[in-house]
Structure 1
């Protein structure tokens, strides 16, 4: 039986050597990026030994290999992009050429083999689904009163929970996640959850299982044949995805049973309506892939990615405001002077609160929620700058490097919202081409506008009422973070106290 275990290894070695020889002959005479030393089968993986996180490791490797270099991720030829000029070329100028996505074991499990938006190739189905999401979001009017009401309602609910937990240190992460989850649930399913709801607790559990195990360049994604062996992370992922699918299927089947084509309440209604309209055009329906699987995976994408990314940015924001109480105080002084304590923040205030906006942007810069963007695939032989990039190469944009380039961001490890303000304290829209928190071009984040609205409204509502600090006896939040599908801050406790000026104003008002 031993040959059953050895055979895949032998085949992998042979295939790796064959592909390298064929690629070398085809690209002979071209200038390829300098490659980190690689061994047969494992490629350059020995360079990743130790505890350093990959985005920081790749950032440091620039000193030896240049801003653009190659890295053999096992048998996969991967190009690491560390500067904004090359990133813009990949994402925007040659966005279609580099629009592919690699199929991996974990993402195939997550997306039913690429039937979503984030991890699928740039196909007619992908374009149709993305366009459908855009048009459906416009149903709520991005930036209009309708969407603003949804977010403000959840911001108020979050503030009420924190008010009820005065004088008790709290882990804000579940509450922030619940608030963002309810915004997405309203948009996707026209439903929301109260604190402690069993279904919400189940969602938290399976979502953590997915976040901890998917798209982390784990060995099974690099060497798919490792699926033959017991794999704890893979089992956790499969179980978590099964729970997620059970939840989505219930929502979907319930909605199909009472679907009203004349009333669009949420994204699910939009998808069901589009699906019904295509049923009489079998050819086009097949081309765009509007099957039940595609609808469910696209909803899962919007829901999952929208919750995890935005709630993570809010966690980082709270962590940094605890570290820098003077910045927190300055935001509150700005809000007191501009909005006061009797009015609630609205989207109209975004242009009037430049320091708060600058602080949000500085958090997005210094701790990019996805420090390594989802890899792209070269759909044909092409180039980045002066270097030849072969068809099939994986391209990884190291957003961490781009946001920590000391030439563009002096003293880049310093938290300084002033980077985004001019001498008069007004917001600078584009202080540097190196600011790409939502990506760019063909694959730009579909939820960018929604995320910006959520971050502004949630943080302005919170900071108008509360002062955030570290509880007595607790350490300051760790700012290193834990690398995964997103860069998560480690758990930390917060003392959320109603501001004295807020309490006085409430007493006077009553």
Structure 2
């Protein structure tokens, strides 16, 4: 622990560094982006309040598409609007594609023995190799898996439907835990292979509980990333964080070992098999130029972490909007009835014949933007953006929430209108859908976006074919989210009724 003398000395040193930085800025000939004034140590953190999306929108309106802020001890910019975010994410020189070396990343590397998730690896030839092989493994799984992924998604959707329909129709129920278990079950079997429900249930519950603990610990950000020296003052918290992220590591390790022993060339039972196949020519030890075979296979843990929370929260928000807008739900159900009837099983190819249902899913994703800010980017060199100078080692926040609320494009972004995403012929408008950046953009775009979309589409279509959701009497609908790394709907209660 730091005594008061050391603390005061550290504070004086930080204030001095801040003064030097400000003096350098004043006399610099560079043209930096505009932005609000901050304070030493915290920068602009204290201005964000409990609704950072709203504050960033205000700054966007006042300062423009590029806003300079300070994120604790880090120089940072906030990038707003579709065009500017696309420019940043898809720059050919990849100058904005780095990742800051936050304390969170350092702790995660230490916890996993130097192995990093694709999400956090800094941009480099190694990152590109890891991304390419992971994306190839996912495509291989979709096209070559012995058990058709669509069948898996449909099977779990039907299980969820039957579970929900067992509730008495007049009972006010929460569907959160049912949806979470359905999503994590799909994800687990996709990554590690089919399994009996009774055998995998403990693993599924452990993943759900670990995610909840992790989100509670981190909240909407890790304070150690803002004020790094706190990690030395609050070592106990750092250890708790390590324990939280490692609590399901035993599952990943056990599954990797199982697959190493049972994998056969040309066999694709799941994503881990596909990764095993692609890791065969990789070295067993990490090097500067190449990832190791274990590093590649360990990406199942990254896919597990990234896929569960975002997908489950999106599905819950869709159900919430369906009960809040019964006319939308009825129109979706009519479309499903006209195309599929009451018994035809849904397939991924049916998405083209269900444009309004798809538009509803996209509109919910736009309105909620469950990941309002992409995982922070980092400048690898000095560069320019929209006529402003951006220094090397600048943290870059891509404000995806701004894209969803861009008035010049959407007209009335505050309103929920699925039909805005249909063209004159009543089909899904691809260009408008591209402005919903749920999965980010560029070479940092989520590699599992197609699988997530497929899972959500099949699950929601199956629910709409068989169920009706109604707001429970005496319970209000509240769209204000619970803020964490991924936004969640507040607890809500519904009545579930059987359609057929």
2:54 corresponds in structure 1 to 56
1:12 corresponds in structure 2 to 14
After TM superposition, list the pairs within 5 Å mapping 1:370-449 onto structure 2: 370-431=371-432, 434-449=435-450
2:79 to 68, 78, 81: 81
Structure 1 residue 9: Cα displacement: 3.3
Structure 1 residue 40: Cα displacement: 2.5
Structure 1 contact 142–449 (Cα < 8 Å) conserved: no
**Distance in 2 of aligned mates of 1:485 and 1:232:** 22
2:187 to 180, 184, 188: 184
Going from structure 1 to structure 2, the CA distance change for 1:344 and 1:262 (only over 3 Å counts) comes to closer
1:253 to 233, 251, 257: 257
Report SS of the residue matched to 1:468: strand
1:174 corresponds in structure 2 to 177
Deviations 1:167-226 (A, max 9, x none): 343322222222221222122111457389333222211111122334833321111111
The answer to whether 1:115 aligns with 2:116 is: yes
1:164 to 163, 166, 172: 166
Structure 1 residue 294: Cα displacement: 5.5
**Distance in 2 of aligned mates of 1:425 and 1:355:** 8
Deviations 1:407-435 (A, max 9, x none): 11122111100110123322211137633
Structure 1 residue 110: Cα displacement: 3.7
Deviations 1:139-192 (A, max 9, x none): 233699822112111111111211222334332222222222122212211145
After TM superposition, list the pairs within 5 Å mapping 1:465-480 onto structure 2: 465-476=466-477, 478-480=478-480
**Distance in 1 of aligned mates of 2:381 and 2:23:** 18
**Distance in 2 of aligned mates of 1:77 and 1:38:** 11
1:208 corresponds in structure 2 to 212
Structure 1 residue 22: Cα displacement: 5.5
2:291 corresponds in structure 1 to 289
After TM superposition, list the pairs within 5 Å mapping 1:207-356 onto structure 2: 207-214=211-218, 216-230=220-234, 234=238, 236-279=240-283, 287-290=289-292, 292=294, 295-296=297-298, 298-356=299-357
Going from structure 1 to structure 2, the CA distance change for 1:6 and 1:228 (only over 3 Å counts) comes to farther
Deviations 1:206-254 (A, max 9, x none): 1111223348333211111111334786555322212122222222233
Structure 2 contact 42–226 (Cα < 8 Å) conserved: no
Deviations 1:101-150 (A, max 9, x none): 11222243345467111112112222122111221112233699822112
**Distance in 1 of aligned mates of 2:257 and 2:172:** 41
TM-score, length-scaled by structure 1: 0.89
**Distance in 2 of aligned mates of 1:432 and 1:381:** 33
**Distance in 2 of aligned mates of 1:173 and 1:233:** 29
Deviations 1:261-307 (A, max 9, x none): 45332222233343342238x7x8662222535632x2211111111
Structure 1 contact 408–432 (Cα < 8 Å) conserved: no
Structure 2 contact 42–227 (Cα < 8 Å) conserved: no
2:38 corresponds in structure 1 to 38
Structure 1 residue 475: Cα displacement: 2.1
Structure 1 residue 402: Cα displacement: 1.3
Structure 1 contact 107–214 (Cα < 8 Å) conserved: no
The answer to whether 1:481 aligns with 2:485 is: no
Report SS of the residue matched to 1:96: coil
Report SS of the residue matched to 1:383: strand
Deviations 1:318-357 (A, max 9, x none): 1100100100000001111111112121112111111001
Structure 1 residue 378: Cα displacement: 0.9
After TM superposition, list the pairs within 5 Å mapping 1:110-149 onto structure 2: 110=108, 112=112, 115-141=116-142, 146-149=148-151
**Distance in 1 of aligned mates of 2:14 and 2:261:** 49
**Distance in 2 of aligned mates of 1:291 and 1:349:** 38
Report SS of the residue matched to 1:475: coil
Structure 1 residue 100: Cα displacement: 0.3
**Distance in 2 of aligned mates of 1:63 and 1:136:** 42
Report SS of the residue matched to 2:407: coil
Structure 1 residue 14: Cα displacement: 4.1
Compare 132-141 and 263-272 and name the one that shifted more.
263-272
**Count of aligned positions:** 492
Report SS of the residue matched to 1:175: helix
2:494 corresponds in structure 1 to 494
Structure 1 residue 488: Cα displacement: 1.1
**Distance in 1 of aligned mates of 2:213 and 2:452:** 23
Structure 1 residue 87: Cα displacement: 0.5
